[in-house]
């Protein structure tokens, strides 16, 4: 037995969403059909508009339907400091957690030559120009502590050095409130090797 063609298509399409398998797709489809037609129609409309109109900020590559994102537009932000992140949600997370008031650069991934992701795919050619021009005096590397994230950080650190900018990497170690015994050994080794003078 199969549902009607349109419902089968809807269930298949919902699986484009990350983390949605066949069962959740079915549950979502029937929830919208039976209980929330209005929400479903609104989602269809805004999703269509977003897929068509959202591009990226010309300066930092944050997705936006405007030419420049609100951070790069803002006069209250220090244009000489740049924090390098992998994904748009990292911008949000850092901005909520810190009082950082510089700008960001969103890679949209990490260097991974085997997957065909080189500097150009991450917009690093554009970043290189900006670093060379000398307008940036400080770069904060906030890529993830994975092999590829580290490689990406090293690559950008090199560019920053050539452009004369100072460079720092966010700290990695035992999470606040974490019990040592529950932390994986890689993190623990890193935290131990990266210990700082206690004052």
Q: Note the residues at the interface with a second copy (CB under 8 A).
A: 1-7, 9-10, 13-14, 16-19, 24, 26-34, 36-37, 39-54, 62-66, 69-71, 87-89, 91-92, 95-96, 108
Judged by CB, which is closer to a second copy: 69, or 156? 69
CB of residue 174 to a second copy, shortest distance in Å: 23
CB of residue 86 to a second copy, shortest distance in Å: 11
Judged by CB, which is closer to a second copy: 28, or 183? 28
d(CA 127, CA 82): 10
d(CA 187, CA 183): 7
d(CA 133, CA 124): 14
Judged by CB, which is closer to a second copy: 14, or 156? 14
CB of residue 131 to a second copy, shortest distance in Å: 23
Judged by CB, which is closer to a second copy: 32, or 156? 32
């Amino acid at each position: 037995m199969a549902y009607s063609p349109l419902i089968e298509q809807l269930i298949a399409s919902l699986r484009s969403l990350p983390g949605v398998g066949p069962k959740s797709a079915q549950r979502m489809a029937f929830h919208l059909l039976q209980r929330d037609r209005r929400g479903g129609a609104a989602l269809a409309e805004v999703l269509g508009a977003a897929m068509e109109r959202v591009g990226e900020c010309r300066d930092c590559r944050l997705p936006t339907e405007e030419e420049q994102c609100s951070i790069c537009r803002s006069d209250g932000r220090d244009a000489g400091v740049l924090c390098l992140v992998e994904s748009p949600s990292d911008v949000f997370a850092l901005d909520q957690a810190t009082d950082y008031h510089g700008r960001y650069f969103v890679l949209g991934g990490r260097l991974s030559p085997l997957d065909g992701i080189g500097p150009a795919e991450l917009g690093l050619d554009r970043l290189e120009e900006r670093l060379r021009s000398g307008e940036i005096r400080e770069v904060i590397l906030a890529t993830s502590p994975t092999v590829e994230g580290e490689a990406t950080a090293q690559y950008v650190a090199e560019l920053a050095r050539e452009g004369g900018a100072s460079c720092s990497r966010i700290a990695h170690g035992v999470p606040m409130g974490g019990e040592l015994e529950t932390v994986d050994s890689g993190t623990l080794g890193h935290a131990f090797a990266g210990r700082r003078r206690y004052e």
